[in-house]
């Protein structure tokens, strides 16, 4: 019997995530949105593509949380998207209401689910979802670090004219302007990036990755990134379904790790069927520690604004 993945929010990120899951055939999907007809229409379109993809996955569009009951994984993508000139934190209060409502329903209908939060500002929304559901912190996480790292990997591969598959990167901290890319742990087929590029060029690529989402928002004029966020979310879904024990940077609850307490931050974790199975701690340089603390302060500031 296939696993059940419910996606809350049938906008660009949610629908594209549904497409990737259904195309892969690894799970059945429920696509939920408050807009009547929209999730149903997108689900029907995807269902009609399944024969061409040789996929036996079932997909249903709905406006009712009752259809999501018993989900193994629930992805929250619902919320307002950024517009040019907006930061992720500008979405704080509007999206908090949406995440609270979704999380309360998830707690009632899928009490054993693993929850992946994509809605921005993601680190804070993940903490809000954890507080609202009352789930184990291992079962609630935020998607962010894997996306930031993927952007950096792409930019490095273009600069060096090598396959992005051969580039590994690690980006920690909050999913925002204060994210912390660790170039010490960034390699090309095992070769440290510092052996291949100057410090100035590395910093330029890091800065572009840091502003990767804003760059896309400014180009689109309306809406924000969704192909890479959906691909990042799918990678996490797959790791959980197949208990892959993948080492993936994502927003996880810290309760003493990295000397941080009661906060969701982007850190390396082992991701498997139980969700966040382990938080992996790396030793920071003095400069990295300063950057991480700055990122922590930014996330904590937003957490306090929501009264958590």
Looking at residue 106, which CATH number applies to its domain?
3.40.50.720
Helix axes 199-210, 145-160, angle to 10 degrees: 140
> Is 139 an active-site residue?
no
Q: d(Cα 123, Cα 129) in Å, to the nearest integer?
A: 10
Residue 52, CA distances (Å) to 12, 56, 175 in order: 22, 11, 36
pLDDT tens column, 56-99? 999 999 999 999 999 999 999 999 876 676 665 677 888 999 99
Take residue 156 and report the two structure tokens written for it: 């490095």
pLDDT category, 236, cuts 50, 70, 90? very high
| Domain with 115 in it | 3-142
Question: Global pTM?
Answer: 0.95
pLDDT category, 135, cuts 50, 70, 90? very high
**Within this chain, do residues 245 and 265 fall inside the same structural domain, yes or no?**
yes
Q: Is the dihedral of CA 242, 145, 225, 31 positive or negative?
A: positive
pLDDT category, 104, cuts 50, 70, 90? very high
**Within this chain, do residues 277 and 168 fall inside the same structural domain, yes or no?**
yes
**Within this chain, do residues 136 and 149 fall inside the same structural domain, yes or no?**
no
Number of domains in the chain: 2
pLDDT tens column, 28-45? 999 999 999 999 999 999
**Within this chain, do residues 205 and 123 fall inside the same structural domain, yes or no?**
no
**Within this chain, do residues 129 and 152 fall inside the same structural domain, yes or no?**
no
**Within this chain, do residues 264 and 186 fall inside the same structural domain, yes or no?**
yes
Take residue 2 and report the two structure tokens written for it: 């296939």
**Within this chain, do residues 114 and 191 fall inside the same structural domain, yes or no?**
no
pLDDT, averaged across the chain: 93
**Within this chain, do residues 21 and 127 fall inside the same structural domain, yes or no?**
yes
Q: Pick from 118, 142, 166: which residue ends a domain?
A: 142
**Within this chain, do residues 152 and 63 fall inside the same structural domain, yes or no?**
no
**Within this chain, do residues 75 and 169 fall inside the same structural domain, yes or no?**
no
**Within this chain, do residues 82 and 169 fall inside the same structural domain, yes or no?**
no
* Catalytic pick among 23, 93, 139, 175: 175
**Within this chain, do residues 153 and 298 fall inside the same structural domain, yes or no?**
yes
Which has more pLDDT, 141 or 173?
141
* pLDDT of the residue at 89: 62
* pLDDT of the residue at 88: 58
Looking at residue 155, which CATH number applies to its domain?
3.90.110.10
């Amino acid at each position: 019997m296939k696993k059940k993945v419910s996606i809350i929010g049938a906008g660009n990120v949610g629908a594209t995530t549904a497409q990737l899951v259904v195309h892969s055939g690894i799970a059945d999907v429920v696509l939920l949105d408050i807009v009547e007809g929209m999730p149903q229409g997108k689900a029907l379109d995807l269902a009609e593509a399944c024969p061409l993809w040789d996929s036996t996955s079932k997909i249903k569009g709905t406006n009712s949380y009752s259809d999501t009951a018993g989900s193994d994984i629930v992805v929250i993508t619902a919320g307002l998207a950024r517009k040019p000139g907006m930061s992720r934190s500008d979405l704080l209060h509007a999206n908090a209401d949406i995440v609270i409502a979704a999380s309360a329903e998830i707690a009632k209908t899928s009490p054993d689910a693993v929850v992946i939060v994509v809605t921005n500002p993601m680190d804070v929304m993940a903490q809000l979802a954890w507080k609202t559901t009352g789930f184990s912190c291992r079962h609630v996480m935020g998607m962010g670090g894997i996306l930031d790292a993927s952007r950096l990997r792409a930019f490095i591969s273009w600069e060096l004219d090598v396959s992005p598959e051969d580039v590994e990167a690690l980006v920690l901290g909050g999913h925002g302007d204060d994210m912390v890319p660790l170039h010490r742990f960034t390699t090309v087929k095992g070769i440290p990036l510092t052996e291949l590029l100057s410090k100035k060029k590395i910093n330029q690529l890091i800065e572009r990755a840091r502003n990767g989402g804003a760059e896309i928002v400014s180009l689109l004029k309306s809406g924000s990134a969704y192909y890479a966020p959906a691909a990042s979310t799918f990678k996490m879904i797959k790791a959980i379904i197949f208990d892959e024990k993948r080492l993936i940077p994502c927003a996880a609850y810290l309760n003493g790790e990295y000397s941080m307490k009661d906060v969701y931050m982007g850190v390396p974790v082992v991701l498997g069927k139980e969700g966040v199975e382990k938080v992996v701690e790396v030793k920071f340089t003095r400069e990295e520690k300063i950057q991480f603390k700055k990122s922590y302060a930014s996330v904590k500031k937003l957490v306090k604004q929501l009264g958590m």
